[in-house]
Chain A
Amino acid sequence: MSVVDRQEWDVVVVGAGGAGLRAAIEARERGARTAVICKSLFGKAHTVMAEGGIAAAMGNVNSGDNWQVHFRDTMRGGKFLNQWRMAELHAQEAPQRVWELETWGALFDRTKDGRISQRNFGGHEYPRLAHVGDRTGLELIRTLQQKIVSLQQEDHRETGDYESRLKVFQECTVTRILKDGSRVSGVFAYDRETGRFFVLQAPSVVIATGGIGKSFKVTSNSWEYTGDGHALALLAGAPLLNMEFVQFHPTGMVWPPSVKGILVTESVRGDGGVLRNSEGKRFMFDYIPDVFKEKYAQSEDEGDRWYEDPDHNRRPPELLPRDEVARAINAEVKAGRGSPHGGVFLDVSTRMPAEVIRRRLPSMYHQFKELADVDITAEPMEVGPTCHYVMGGIAVESDTAAARGVPGLYAAGEVAGGMHGSNRLGGNSLSDLLVFGRRAGWHAAEYATGLAGGRPVVDDTQIDAASAEALRPFSAEGPAPGEEDGKPPENPYTLHQELQQTMNDLVGIIRREAEMEQALEKLADLRVRARRAGVEGHRQFNPGWHLALDLRNMLLVSECVARAALERTESRGGHTREDHPTMDRDWRRINLICRLTDPTGGLAATDPVRGQIDLTRETTEPVRADLLALFDKEELVKYLTEEELYE
């Protein structure tokens, strides 16, 4: 009999970023008793790092905007690989989700007539991003956090207990989703502070854990981004979708080394910043791809005029979607036209008065001043691509956010796949969190409270297995029983560094077949060694132990990325193959699905060729006719096959 502490809830939300908190608010408001589990302190989630804004077609700055235009931009940005129904719901519901934040106390920057101001961003036809300077993510997370507190205050007035209906378990990590047959029955977790294990029993689990950036060396992501939710879903039997699509944000800091990868917001370009190479040339004009030729300025003069007169000029190519800009920067550096520290120059100092820069980009000003001794009002920044976001994720039903094939499992935010296709537009992440966070919370609550038969049961064998798995790093020293001499345990920090280097060098921004095969071999080797990752000390707030456990997740998702990237023999969005440099219309309808090879959820597979992941192809549903009708035929020809067009 297991002695692990158990609690009963209706909905458990894993992750307390934008998607998780929005899901929790919705579930609680729909009457479900809801628990949120997060690895950091409440209010510290990675969403705070989002700078630019929330994309929503409110039309406050340009009344020509509406959901159809937003939908079009999103599909173009994702190179038509997007789950179109998600892109449709997202474009339709985003304005409502932003306005709702105001009723919870959010204070966005304003237009002259007192409405929410909206700014330009890459790939968006109109000024569309609701923002607060360049700290929009902080405003979003704080608003949701404060809304949760206000619901807890309501509950306190009624029940005398702040946490009777909505509780945040902060600094706790989930290591397994528990199941009763095919259904979800709860989660197994440990408290980071004490190392104590516990189980939350619940018929519904919403995964909202964000991304996978910590598998790459140069990344804008925080330590939390170890692909936990992706791995938990795989282990619970749910498939992942299109994991080859990883977004490298074009502008991360490149110097000093300790801050390499930290994000420089796209707002810098949205507000007028330009990219130059070492020869002082605005090189982006040389990198406008055919599919976007008609939509971008052909000269610097036209691009500059667009800021004042967008109706009669086209936008500058610095505002192309992120994948295009990142590849261009990469190419310039490779051609020997980079900046001293291996990036290119991003300049606002010659484009706006110092006082305007400090007002519109306060945290960028602060970040460069404090961390790099660079005054961005007087000199250009040095920037280069940084691993930023994964478009791939848990395969979900578009309307309900339900994970495929596992009743009771839901996913929202970065961890869910499909919405952004092969490349996400800036600003579409925060709106995604809100739209699908709400939908996940809504359907998770409905499922949990409407269960006809009995509730799913958590059995002790699963708890014991999860405990044993979590404790393994403490007994990694010495030989296992029945084995010959054991090798010394592996240092989890060293394994992590090797993994990051591997993914960065071999499955990075530009990919080649031989390198990805090499990566898969290296991953197999790391997987074997990770089983011997050992830690010192005890279970109380022990970061070495936490990392040893996170390695399992990073290795799983890294294998998904590498296998899918090897399989897709074309270049599209966040997946660029040097050996297959063009976009192939036949690939547009193909989704790559990753499943765990061993369906019992064991992780014994250490065979490098076979690995832990099975990859299959799936043909997507045709885009609905009325949505296709929003595009010109000439444009569709670039994306769709003859046969699709004919239909």
Chain B
Amino acid sequence: MSSYDAHFKVWRGDAEGGGLEDFKVEVNDGEVVLDIIHRLQATQTPDLAVRWNCKAGKCGSCSAEINGRPRLMCMTRMSVFSREETITVTPLRAFPVVRDLVTDVGFNYTKAREVPAFVPPEKLGPGEYRMMQEDVDRSQEFRKCIECFLCQDTCHVVRDHEENKPAFAGPRFLMRVAELDMHPLDAAGETGLDRKKTAQDEHGLGYCNITKCCTEVCPEGIKITDNALIPLKERAVDRKYDPLVWLGDKILRRGSSG
């Protein structure tokens, strides 16, 4: 087994401010960036703050930016860098720093609450659900999401635009709307909830101009743009410009307000 010393720059600081600190640290065969951060904790900086959990790419806790690219630290192997390269680790830029590599991801939990939950069909009891595999495939793809929030971090709508946050759910939660919309038994429609319409009107789908940055950083390989956002947009557009739907909407709205 071969080991060498790597040069790391790690952002340290808190809400008041901070900067990059230099470290020389040992690297062994097969290690990932998170191993190196742990070695720093154990040997040089015991109070270096970092979030992590499963260390196997399943929980989505150890999100950070490595050389400027949003990634999971546990799934970034050291072998993708040359031995001479300086590796820079910084916290997710779209969220406020708490300390060192830990950010306040509360934005995501707020947005999660704004998406109305699954509505169970009234007539089916537990054990009576029947769904075909091909009908659940689409939503299942979105349920692979580990909520690492890398897509939320990279999305240019909010990355450097704090002002867009209140009106924009971000790719993760627009995908959640798509997931529920494509669920074969979701009964939202029967309660008067049109998920496609809310994607546009309440969750800010219109801000998305399908640059696919979210898809590129997804560690689960979910085709967020192609499979969730674009279909949602197409449906939203269908409804908006379909004269019959438009007329129906008008009448319904008039009825309910009157």
Binding site for B on A (CB under 8 A): 40-44, 46, 48-49, 58, 95-96, 99-100, 102-105, 107, 109-110, 113-115, 132-133, 135, 137-139, 142, 146-147, 149-150, 152-153, 156, 162, 193, 222-224, 255-259, 262-263, 363, 366-367, 370-372, 491-494, 497, 535-538, 540-545
Contacts and interface: CB of A to CB of B under 8 A. Distances in A.
**5 pairs of A and B residues whose beta carbons are closest in the complex:** A256-B30, A105-B118, A537-B47, A150-B117, A544-B46
A259 B30 contact: yes
Interface in B108-164: 109, 112-113, 116-118, 120, 124, 126-127, 129-133, 136, 139-140, 143-144, 146-147
B28 A224 contact: no
Contacts, number: 174
A109 to B, nearest CB: 7
B47 A535 contact: yes
B29 interface: yes
Contacts of A538: 47
B47 A536 contact: yes
Contacts of A497: 42
Contact of A259 (B41, B56, B59, B143): B56
A498 to B, nearest CB: 12
A535 B57 CA distance: 30
A222 B55 contact: yes
Contacts of B46: 491-493, 535-537, 543-544
A147 B113 CA distance: 11
A117 to B, nearest CB: 8
A542 B49 contact: yes
28 contacts: A40-B61, A41-B61, A44-B59, A46-B53, A48-B58, A49-B59, A102-B126, A107-B139, A137-B58, A139-B143, A193-B98, A222-B53, A222-B55, A222-B59, A256-B29, A257-B29, A257-B30, A258-B32, A259-B30, A259-B32, A259-B55, A370-B75, A370-B77, A371-B32, A491-B46, A493-B42, A543-B41, A544-B47
Nearest to A114: B130
Candidate in B29, B48, B59, B124 with the most chain A CB atoms within 10 angstroms: B59
A41 B51 contact: yes
Chain B interface size range:
35 or more
B57 A543 contact: no
Interface stretch (B99-107, B195-203, B225-233, B245-253): B99-107
Secondary structure call for the B interface = loop
Interface string B1-27: 100000000000010000000000000
A175 to B, nearest CB: 19
B31 interface: yes
A50 B178 CA distance: 26
Candidate in A44, A149, A153, A262 with the most chain B CB atoms within 10 angstroms: A44
B54 A49 contact: yes
Given A48-B146, A96-B126, A256-B30, A542 B55 contact: no
Contacts of B75: 370-371
Contact of B49 (A113, A137, A258, A543): A543
A149 B113 contact: yes
Interface in B46-82: 46-61, 75, 77
B118 A44 contact: no
B30 A372 contact: yes
A574 B121 CA distance: 44
B58 A138 contact: yes
